[in-house]
Structure 1
């Protein structure tokens, strides 16, 4: 019973040895009900600590963009707070349709600032789970595209990692863990800095950055029935990032500051989070779990002396019953977020009830879930908005044998408006009601998992009402630009994931995504977008990694990332002169492991491909546009 209650897992071997690599269905631990990949009723990607470690990424965005089906791009040049997309919601607003959690704590913002994923050190992650078109019952508001759940380590391992690289890049991180029958402790931290790549002015100053993070977690079992846990984390970031370029400037030299843009921005972004929770085990089958979180954030755009303060408080309580035949989770969610800056003092509140269940009948798994969520906001000037929304998940999985299964699922999901969509950015004036978007999601899938091959295929169709977007009137944006809704739209596509151990020496991992996102019905300010493609969505997204295990100590890997061209992020009329260029990058790495020491080196964008984010004609934000390299070591003790 003791082992079952302690929700901690020990990592396997830290060395990658050719002779004992095997694939197996991984458990999905952060959903409402624990299951495994093969029996899941959802389209799921699961990545382990070893997957992340072997990729030698500088941050989680880099891992997502090069190894998973998720697309990431720096937010208007801000590499610490990047935009994300999958399932065709677009690089402009896709991140607002993805819920991201860290150890169950939702880190999405109540305004249009993307989640600060760079605050999570890759070295501290035990598992990452990407649930597509699912997760609305547990995760709630914002889970139209799906959920990214990140679980941090709570193991006995101890390690430090140090690397240095081009453009003055330097990084140091550590993880320290302790486990015994009563107590589990873990601490991790990271310090990173870069001298910058792009110029920010004619004097040659560059877009330098720095970041410091830290996390501490404790779990204590005073009795066999009771588990107590608490945690604290912080992040301190400072970033100077350059503005957009014209097409001629971008083609001539993407490192330049640019002559006609708004100039560089400097942002300080600090966050502090506290968590506390308890679990009481009435029996091996029945438990009660309660978790509370508080997060305080400060975003300071130093360039404009613009400061925004955030305070988020949340609580969740869930009663779980888990037996061989049925698993049920029933719970309540509460959230209050406050945003204060020069123009606004806004509060958003979410209250929810949810029920999730899975029934196991031999080879059949049936999932049924429901969520009721009450969402409201209020401002100091008296405007308010209230919505009562319903989320549903239905799923079925048939497992043929220990290697193969098929599944089908439906979900009804929703996303409420961010608070700053409702108010004019420069005055704080109320702009009017923005409807919550609602999606009907349909998915069919197939899983085939053997010791040497893990294959996942899924087809999806999404029918949307009131998809939220920013209407950017290029001709008269000052007067007409506003946040509003697309009346009707739809998306469909195909996802393929395959990891194949070709031999003892070679293995390959492939992620391919095809998506088509269409606007069915929308007229705004006399402009008819009906029948157009949603901008910022690439039809094809490919990531492939080939690994060569030269011997039991040495691994070589080459990764190719490609996504096709798309309409620029603001091009809802599909008539801009310039399109979003295809994204291309080739990365290569080598890792040598001996006993407790690992040496590694990596070159990103080997062939110096130019990449950028197109917002409008002659408004291009360069991203991953030159070759960079790092080299370092990891020591385990």
Structure 2
């Protein structure tokens, strides 16, 4: 490992010194929001949005999408109980434990949210295949649907003529190879991408010196065909295979002594997914078009020595869009039919929804209004069922002072239904009790100022919640899934990207969050007035970029999250808290026309980080310095 790190440091210095010529000129401008039903740009948006382009993702040299979100955006990610491929995700203060269930994540419109307590498998998406990541905060319920209390993350993959091959290696046996091959003609666009990744592990899992190794392979194929100008036919397939071994938590004394040591036990897990999609788009007129897409996804999950679980997700999405000079209108229908089957039970969750979303442009003003009706049904083999009828709404206003400045205000009523693990016993399939859907009223206000050398965004939010869903733990292996009667969250988001000179630039994401439980009493526990555990008050990501010449780029990224209560500490009285998270990363890139060499060091100062579940139950994460060196060929 030390040799890899030394080589990375030497390469960082070497790449920065090559070809000392003038730096490239970069100009900032409002980016279009392309993944939502109503397309606009970020200056005219009625929502708090973050947009990251293909270039942003390429420059970060991340190993997966989780790493990009955690280091470059306001979103927080952490390996769930040591699992690097299905990480926990948090946004807007819903907590690192269950925050992912309050975020809807789509890839090219395909919903990644699961029907049980498995987080979205973002590791199945190779960063090399991504064109854009758009984050809509405290909004998106009308089109996103069930689970969009914190917002929506939309990921769009490339449709271009790019041909790329990337390979890198690093410390602890890290190896990754990925490719993207695309062709875009007048009638046909076709692309294929894939990735193979492995890591020999850092932590011990037994006394024999075996490590928490992990492996991942992904593959994607997409095709678009226009037989006539008005008609687009599309089809695609994606596949992912993950295998990992991870160790259990450590006591605080063990963690402080040596975070690489083995825990009380280790777990082997595999997770496979195959998804197939087909759809069409038809331009009925120059103002009216129709889109329909269908997807089937098959998943298999095996945890430890337990029997595997099998999933079948079927979805149909259809919408009609109308667009004129002052009005944009989208009317849609969504259907999700999701089954989970194991040796002992079969459970189904069905979502049927219809929505209407509108956008009016009147001079300098933009008004957004939308409504969603959704019916959620649960069925189990034992005949214990649950039905919920849910309503979502959005209302927003944006006023543009000029081509550089705008002010927006937004309201959204959102909801999150319970997942299968909340309602049914995993072993027997028996119905364990009704859990109310969570309901949230989101209020946001913000200001945008975008000029050629600076992009500044600031927004404040307040979320009033009823029946926030959580697990009330009564013992080491016992507890009940239930609701927090009343709670609220508020905070401030600041984003600034400043091109200081042609050679220096800085990007800053700062989030201040408070998540408070107002009313909740379970048994002898009264949580009223307590903070929701796992939510840091302060979250900072800052990247300083230096372009010594037109071929080279050096970036230093600092990530900081303040300490908070451990994930299970709803009483706010554990003797051990979640430590502050800190990591400093440095990367360097040297790019010519068709090739690129890069090096990156993560956690440069060897900062020890961990995920605190409770007293003496700590999962080490990003707790040591690592490095990678790679090469990209692009033509």
TM over 0.5: yes
Whole-angstrom distance in 2 between the partners of 1:603 and 1:68: 19
Q: Any idea what the Cα deviations from partners look like across 1:389-446, whole Å, max 9, x if unmatched?
A: 0000000000011110000000000000010111234443321000000000000000
Whole-angstrom distance in 2 between the partners of 1:529 and 1:342: 38
**Partner residue of 1:325?**
326
Please say if 1:316 is aligned against 2:320: no
Structure 1 residue 17, shift from structure 2 partner: 8.3
Whole-angstrom distance in 2 between the partners of 1:238 and 1:504: 44
Q: How does 1:205-284 map to 2 (within 5 A)?
A: 205-258=210-263, 261=264, 263-284=265-286
1:503 aligned to 501, 504, 511, which one?
501
* Alpha carbons 1:17, 1:553 under 8 Å: kept: no
Whole-angstrom distance in 2 between the partners of 1:54 and 1:105: 26
**Partner residue of 1:421?**
422
1:50 aligned to 45, 49, 55, which one?
55
Q: How does 1:183-582 map to 2 (within 5 A)?
A: 183-258=188-263, 261=264, 263-301=265-303, 303-473=304-474, 476-479=475-478, 481-582=479-580
Q: Which runs of 5+ in 1 are unaligned?
A: 1-15
Whole-angstrom distance in 1 between the partners of 2:499 and 2:340: 49
SS at match of 2:228: coil
Whole-angstrom distance in 1 between the partners of 2:416 and 2:453: 39
Structure 1 residue 380, shift from structure 2 partner: 0.3
Structure 1 residue 328, shift from structure 2 partner: 0.1
Whole-angstrom distance in 2 between the partners of 1:243 and 1:342: 26
Whole-angstrom distance in 2 between the partners of 1:78 and 1:87: 23
Whole-angstrom distance in 2 between the partners of 1:33 and 1:307: 41
Structure 1 residue 493, shift from structure 2 partner: 0.2
SS at match of 2:429: coil
Whole-angstrom distance in 1 between the partners of 2:300 and 2:542: 38
> RMSD of the alignment, in Å?
1.0
Please say if 1:171 is aligned against 2:176: yes
**Partner residue of 1:8?**
none
Whole-angstrom distance in 1 between the partners of 2:230 and 2:591: 41
**Partner residue of 1:600?**
598
Structure 1 residue 324, shift from structure 2 partner: 1.2
Q: Given the two structures, how large is their TM-score scaled by the length of structure 1? A: 0.96
SS at match of 2:118: coil
Q: What number of residue pairs does the alignment pair up?
A: 615
Whole-angstrom distance in 1 between the partners of 2:415 and 2:183: 40
Structure 1 residue 306, shift from structure 2 partner: 2.7
Runs of 4+ in 1 over 4 A off after TM superposition: none
Whole-angstrom distance in 2 between the partners of 1:212 and 1:537: 32
Whole-angstrom distance in 1 between the partners of 2:23 and 2:133: 24
SS at match of 1:560: strand
Whole-angstrom distance in 2 between the partners of 1:218 and 1:200: 43
* Alpha carbons 1:33, 1:356 under 8 Å: kept: yes
SS at match of 1:578: coil
Whole-angstrom distance in 1 between the partners of 2:324 and 2:631: 45
Q: CA 1:379/1:529 → structure 2, altered by over 3 Å: closer, same or farther?
A: same
Higher relative contact order (CA 8 A, sep 6+): 2
Q: Which runs of 5+ in 2 are unaligned?
A: 1-20
* Alpha carbons 1:536, 1:566 under 8 Å: kept: yes
Q: Any idea what the Cα deviations from partners look like across 1:537-570, whole Å, max 9, x if unmatched?
A: 0000000000000000011110000000010001
Please say if 1:137 is aligned against 2:142: yes
Q: How does 1:12-23 map to 2 (within 5 A)?
A: 18-23=23-28
Whole-angstrom distance in 1 between the partners of 2:619 and 2:307: 22
Structure 1 residue 224, shift from structure 2 partner: 1.4
Q: Any idea what the Cα deviations from partners look like across 1:496-525, whole Å, max 9, x if unmatched?
A: 010000000100000000000000000011
